[in-house]
Amino acid sequence: KALRLSGGDHIHAGTVVGKLEGERDITLGFVDLLRDDFVEKDRSRGIYFTQDWVSLPGVLPVASGGIHVWHMPALTEIFGDDSVLQFGGGTLGHPWGNAPGAVANRVALEACVQARNEGRDLASEGNQIIREASKWSPELAAACEVWKEIKFEFQAMDTI
């Protein structure tokens, strides 16, 4: 809130997936507080009182921390279009180098946005969407192979 009040334009918002995984509802509540002008009280989402931001500019949520191409469907569904997705190792860890890593992430993002805009369900079809896109992008296919076994399985720390 202090960042938004002071004119900041982006902040790490949690990721829901990856190594900085957090509780989905609380993360979505926080994202709403960053972007929306008016947010109703909803304790289940970590919003303890109604907040009217009037016309104060919003803040872009940033997601990072162990994210890679297989997370793209969930990230697209959670954060939508107005967000920053920081793929550090998910880009730099590509077996062919940084540029192909960036291409793989961009192809995965565009495939997910197109699928969402066509009305496909990213939650249930996400892996299939990525597999389909990897058929015409060798960079994405290589990234899919590298990241296929990576999982971060631990309990969320930010539960209510």
Could you say which architecture CATH assigns to the domain 2-147? Answer: Alpha-Beta Barrel (3.20)
Tell me the mean pLDDT in the region 105-134. 97
Q: How confident is the model at residue 152 (pLDDT cuts 50, 70, 90)?
A: low
Q: What is the mean pLDDT of residues 58-68?
A: 92
Instruction: Report, as an integer, the average pLDDT of 71-99.
Output: 94
- Categorize the per-residue pLDDT at 62 as very low, low, confident or very high, splitting at 50, 70 and 90: very high
Residue 98 has pLDDT above 80, yes or no: yes
Q: What percent of the chain has pLDDT over 90?
A: 73
- Residue 146 CA to its chain's centroid (Å): 20
CA angle at 15 for the pair 10 and 16, rounded to the nearest 5°:
150
**AA identity, residue 35:** R
At residue 160, the pLDDT reads: 57
Task: Answer whether 160's CB lies under 8 Å from 44's CB.
Answer: yes
R_g of the chain, CA atoms, integer Å? 17
Residue labelled with tokens 């940033």: 62
